[in-house]
Amino acid sequence: MPQRLSVVMIAKNAADLLPDCLASVAWADEIILLDSGSQDATSDVARAAGAKVFTDTDWQGYGIQRQKAQGFASGDYILMIDTDERVTPELAQSIRAVLDAPQPNAVYSIARRNFFLGRFMRHSGWYPDRVTRLYPRERYQYNASLVHESLDSHGAAVIELKGDLLHLTCRDFASFQRKQLNYATAWAQERHQKGKKASLTGIFTHTLGAFLKTLLLRGGVLDGKQGWLLAVVNAQYTFNKYTELWALNHGYSEKA
Q: Are 34 and 159 part of one and the same domain? A: yes
Q: Are 123 and 229 part of one and the same domain? A: no
pLDDT tens, position by position, 91-115? 999 999 999 999 999 999 999 999 9
pLDDT of residue 256: 54
Q: Are 28 and 102 part of one and the same domain? A: yes
> Of 168, 203, 225, which residue is a domain's last?
168
> Of 117, 149, 168, which residue is a domain's last?
168
pLDDT tens, position by position, 126-147? 999 999 999 999 999 999 887 7
DSSP-H helix ranges across 109-249: 173-193, 200-212, 224-249
Structural domain containing residue 93: 5-168
Three-state secondary structure call for residue 191? helix
Q: Are 28 and 121 part of one and the same domain? A: yes
- Write the CATH number for 67: 3.90.550.10
Q: Are 186 and 155 part of one and the same domain? A: no
Bridge-based pairing of strands 30-35 and 5-11 is parallel
Can you give the C-alpha Rg of the chain in angstroms?
Answer: 19
Q: What percent of the chain has pLDDT over 90?
A: 93
Q: What's the mean pLDDT when you consider all of the chain?
A: 96
Rounded alpha-carbon distances, angstroms, from residue 219 to 6, 110, 125, 131, 214: 36, 21, 8, 20, 7
What is this structure's pTM? 0.87
Other beta carbons within 10 angstroms of residue 217's beta carbon come to: 11
Distance CA 243, CA 191 (A): 12
pLDDT tens, position by position, 8-42? 999 999 999 999 999 999 999 999 999 999 999 99
Three-state secondary structure call for residue 151? strand
Q: Are 240 and 192 part of one and the same domain? A: yes
